Structure 1
Amino acid sequence: MSDNELGVFLRTRREAVTPAQVGLPTGARRRTSGLRRAEVAMLAGVSVEYLTRLEQGRDRRPSAQVLSALADALRMTASERIHTYRLSKGAEGGFTCGIGDTTPGRVVRPTVRALLDGLEPAPAVLLNRVSDVVAHTVGYERLAGPIGLLDGTPPNLAWFVFTDSRARIVYPDWDQVADEQVAALKQGSFGTDRYSAMLADELTISAGKAFTRRIETLPGLPRANGIVRLVHPGAGELRLAYETLDLPADDDQRLVVYLPADGATSDALDGLDRRRQPVLRVVSG
């Protein structure tokens, strides 16, 4: 893991914001579509030297006022602002809200189990902070079982993506999926979580640079929703819209629900459902 998570995140965000988004001219001779340090410094009211120190990790304790100004300049969303604040506080050491000495949550509360039952026939999976598969719907088993995702003991989504040779066939957009897996692992108390560190060490040995490069360069802020393509041996290529729902912190778990993103996927998922439950409705937009 990078020891400069705040700097990595600020640089990544700067490179993702276009001049047009902040009202600056694009210019014909720009080498990157993102913002220059000088432009961000001007917008935030800080010096270029100070912004450089933050990005390089030579200064890791910006004030709340500076963080707020940078968040405004970089057009951060609410979740990105919270993430930035957590990274800055984490750099101070001492007290942490992390649970690194606690075994990753594997107990499913009865109400969460009832929620999973109510989501049938939709594919839905409950993951803990190290991406172990804790529980899932029958619909998810029909989706993930044939591709091998549930083969581990316990099954682990990150382990499958980075170490199983089938993953690059299952996920046509493997690089994007791998990015999201690393971003999910780097959330919260990753830097002080011995269980996450153990998984990271195992993935470093098994997957090498495909994993370590992402650990060093990607910020820990995965997308909460989107569309993922998946090639299923019995249903062909599927386009699935997913939504991630974080359970309360004490649960240490997140629920990911998948819905068909187009009519062909809806028909294919219905074909996998041997019990012939109601057809899943296509997500539009």
Structure 2
Amino acid sequence: MGDFVRARRDSIQPEQLGLPDHGRRRAPGLRRSDLATRAGISVEYLTRIEQGRDRNPSLSVVNAIADALSLSIADRTHLHHLAKITGGACAGMRRPAPPDRTVRPGALAALRLLEPGIAVLTNGLGDVLAHTTGFALLTAGSGLLDADAPNLTRYVFTDPRARSFFPDWDAVADEQAFALWTGPSRDAVEWFSTDLAHTAGPEFTRRLHLHTPPPAGTLRIHHPSGHDLRLDRENLDLSADAQRVTLYLPADEATADTLARLQADEPRTPHLRLVA
């Protein structure tokens, strides 16, 4: 792991990362002090990692180094692999059981009462477990529900269509990353975050340990049909199940009229969709 970090540091020129060139130096590439500053760790700690004297960096440190080096997805994945086999934070740990995706009949009955409104039931990892036809209409064409096991957090950070669907993408990304702190279990969140970090990169990892709750506000959506919508959200926590129902309500008359027209254009019999 230390050899890999040092090799990547030596292969990067300061100007590639927008850093000033300090002139001639004994070794090529990025200075150790510059990398340490970008990663938010001490030079001494980085030196121990590169020399193999510290074989237990935490996942947050591994992610911080990957972000500081602007690693590609392939290199980021390899760094996590090296951290495991060298004795890092993941070594010796078994992948925890995935969170329970079972939805109680009572929760489904409550969600069914919200038809044909816009509502979705998720767990703390962002897995979409059930939704109304109104939610399917709202997200049609966005790609959110395309996967066999759709996940809102993964969609926000890895699907390019999310940035068009959510005009205020940064605010939505902050919300999804912060929501992981209320996940079903710390182990499950840790493994989910590690897996997602490989493909999501620094946009995800730099938000992971921000403990400031993002401000709640009106959600703006650019519907693939070309309509711009403004929605308020009401959350109903099912604390016993570590799940949540989110209800989306029109924030203005223009949005209400647009949603009514969209529903009129695609008449259907309300049918609750169970994903779990």
**TM-score with structure 2 setting the length:** 0.58
Aligned ranges 1:118-267 → 2 under 5 Å = 118-187=113-182, 192-193=186-187, 195-216=188-209, 218-219=210-211, 221=213, 226-234=217-225, 236-249=227-240, 251-267=241-257
Question: Residues of 1 paired with 2:118 and 2:184: CA distance?
Answer: 28
Question: Residues of 2 paired with 1:228 and 1:102: CA distance?
Answer: 33
- Partner of residue 59, structure 1: none
Q: CA deviation at 1:235?
A: 5.2
Task: Report if aligned partners of 1:105, 1:252 keep a CA contact under 8 Å in 2.
Answer: no
Q: CA deviation at 1:245?
A: 1.3
Once the two structures are superposed, residues 155-197 of structure 1 have per-residue CA deviations (whole angstroms, 9 ceiling, x without a partner) of: 000000000000111111000000000010122565x32x222
* SS in structure 1 of the partner of residue 217 of structure 2: strand
1:168 maps to amino acid: R
Unaligned runs of 5+ in 1: 1-99, 278-285
Once the two structures are superposed, residues 68-104 of structure 1 have per-residue CA deviations (whole angstroms, 9 ceiling, x without a partner) of: xxxxxxxxxxxxxxxxxxxxxxxxxxxxxxxx95532
Question: Residues of 2 paired with 1:253 and 1:189: CA distance?
Answer: 8
Question: Residues of 2 paired with 1:202 and 1:220: CA distance?
Answer: 23
Question: Residues of 2 paired with 1:104 and 1:235: CA distance?
Answer: 36
Structural RMSD (CA): 2.2
Q: 1:105 to 1:270 in 2, by over 3 A?
A: farther
Q: CA deviation at 1:226?
A: 3.2
- Of the candidates 110, 114, 130, which is equivalent to residue 115 of structure 1? 110
Q: 1:254 to 1:242 in 2, by over 3 A?
A: same
- Partner of residue 73, structure 2: none
**Percentage of pairs with the same residue:** 48
Task: Report if aligned partners of 2:121, 2:243 keep a CA contact under 8 Å in 1.
Answer: yes
- Partner of residue 15, structure 2: none
Question: Residues of 2 paired with 1:130 and 1:276: CA distance?
Answer: 30
* SS in structure 2 of the partner of residue 212 of structure 1: helix
Once the two structures are superposed, residues 199-220 of structure 1 have per-residue CA deviations (whole angstroms, 9 ceiling, x without a partner) of: 211221111110111013x217
**TM-score with structure 1 setting the length:** 0.56
Q: Tell me if 1:271 matches 2:261.
A: yes
1:103 maps to amino acid: P
* SS in structure 2 of the partner of residue 200 of structure 1: helix
Q: 1:205 to 1:188 in 2, by over 3 A?
A: closer
Q: 1:239 to 1:208 in 2, by over 3 A?
A: same
Question: Residues of 2 paired with 1:227 and 1:235: CA distance?
Answer: 19
